[in-house]
Amino acid sequence: MSKVQIIAVSCDPKTGERNCRPRTEIIDPITNELFRGCVTLTDFAERYMHFWNRLPTVQKEMVLVHSVRWVE
């Protein structure tokens, strides 16, 4: 299985304004337990946003995935 590249950005949940520049992250589903079981690119995007947007704290940001693609 290949790795997945996710580009995401953090936004203010009240205004929608970006908090920072987009961040690129490479996910290896073999070594990253959080993404085990993901099959489609949509699975990876949803799992990524669910993790960052469901932290047990006061939500000061909303993470949105801009793109997701397979990489070697």
| Integer CA distances (angstroms), 57 to 23, 27, 30, 42, in order | 21, 24, 28, 25
The phi, psi pair for 16, rounded to 5°, reads 85, -5
pLDDT of 27 higher than 90: yes
How does residue 1 score in pLDDT terms, banded at 50, 70 and 90? Answer: low
Whole-prediction pTM: 0.88
Q: Which residues contact 57 (CB under 8 A, 6 or more apart)?
A: none
Give residue 18's pLDDT: 93
Mean pLDDT of the chain: 92
Condensed to tens digits (0 to 9), the pLDDT of residues 38-60 reads 999 999 999 999 999 987 776 78
CB 47 within 8 A of CB 38: yes
Domain ranges of the chain: 3-71
Q: Which residue has the tokens 């205004």?
A: 15
Read off the tokens for 1: 């299985």
Confidence of residue 13 (pLDDT cuts 50, 70, 90): confident
